[in-house]
Structure formats: C-alpha cells, structure tokens
Structure 1
C-alpha cells in the first residue's frame, strides 16, 4: 500500500512545499524516471512535452532565478474517478526576480501518480499571463530560449 504522502494528493502537496522552498531538484525527484510533464498551451519556442525526470529537473533548474514564489494563495484539489488522478487548481504569488515586480498566476494541473511517483503532469498555465509577469513577450521568449533556463 502506498503511504499517504506518496499518493497523488500527497505528491501534489509535496510539490507545492518544494516549490516554495525553491528545491527544484527535490521537486523533479517526485517524478518517475520515465514520468512526463506536458504544457498543452505551449507557444512557439517553448517545450510542449518533457520526457523523464532528468528533463523535468533540467527544465526547472532556473525557475527560482526567474520567479520567487512566496506563497500559494489559493488551492483546490479535485479527485478524479481514478484514485491515481487529481485536478489541482492553484494560484502562486511572489516576485519576478529580475524586476522585483509582484505577480500572481493561476494554474490548473492534471496529475497522475503510480507507485508513489508522478507519471504524468499536464500543466495548463497561460503563456500570455507569463509574458505579462516577465515584462513582455521579448522577456518571456528570452527566459525560455536564451541560455536554456526556463520556468512553468
């Protein structure tokens, strides 16, 4: 039997804790070795799919350099009929590191876990809101294409 902290709900709760702690290695460590992260609303020059824990870790490595997430201001988790799947709605708040500008961003994620690890995380966030947060489309594009560091 999977311990409660390694259920899909527990994994989601732990992912938020690690996000706030800026522990991206730990965050990526919640993924199965062959787990997938997808971005259904991805724009051009932005990855639509990351395959494997190592790819998730590489993708998230620079996240704290872009956004200083300071709190999760809202959170609702909906249990799917499949006990290994949840739909999570949440809002993160903090500061843009480069500008010090405050931000709030809403996310919806569909998360599937198996054997105590995330096997699928579909992240429905708005690239338009991301561009606004980072100061414009050029800054947003540079964050994902220049230097290889990115965020989600």
Structure 2
C-alpha cells in the first residue's frame, strides 16, 4: 500500500468508512507494534485534523507516552487519573463532551476542549489507550466510538 491516504466522504462517518480499511491494510503486514501505533496516529490526525492523536502504553503501574501527533504531551499518567487513566482503569471508552466538566481532568494542553479515549485490549488486558483531543466542544460521539473501537481490534 502506498503511504498516502485517499479520503472520501462529506461527513465524519463516510471519512471513517474510507479511512479505517486503509489503516487496517497499512498495519496488517507490519509486526512492529510501535510503528503501527505511529502510523495510526498520523492517519487519524491527517484525516480529521484533531488537536492531538496518540497512544499511551501501559508500563507497570502507569500509562507512558507513546507515538503521537500534535503538541507536546504529558509523559506519564496514573491508573484512574484523568480521562486516559479512567479509560485504563475501567477498560471502557470515555467520550468527554467538555473536558472542563470531567472530574480530575489532566490538562496537558489548555487548547483541548473535548476528548475521546479508547482502551487497547489484548488477551483481556488493557495494554494501551488511544487518546484524541479536539479544540472544539462536543467533537466526539458514538460514530467516533464505533469506528475507533473497530480500528483498535487491528492493532
């Protein structure tokens, strides 16, 4: 596959429908997990122009910053802390319409207004989380959750 995305659609769902198969094809034959996380972050950032897209990887008792696209970020997050730590602790996607209303939100960037964090689960354990931040309120919804959860099964 060429390292160029072909995006189609006029709404978010159509863009996901064209993007997700391309990301899955991109990572299918690559055995290096970090490379796959990096390309996934880049593809999502390119397709949607989100403020920040990246992964935090579970290392012992913390989430540690992994491949990402966007401004500099928090390096370590404890389990149960902030949106990322909550997604890890609960092994459940967190869709946050307004980060200022999320108890204990960790403000790595003051520009972030809404967020979605999805756990990456392997063999029944959360091994990482995908974190996506937007500069707009209410960016993320069940459409994002559906397509991103599907995407994470390929990583």
TM-score range, shorter chain: under 0.3
TM-score normalised by L of structure 1 = 0.28
Structure-2-length-normalised TM-score: 0.27
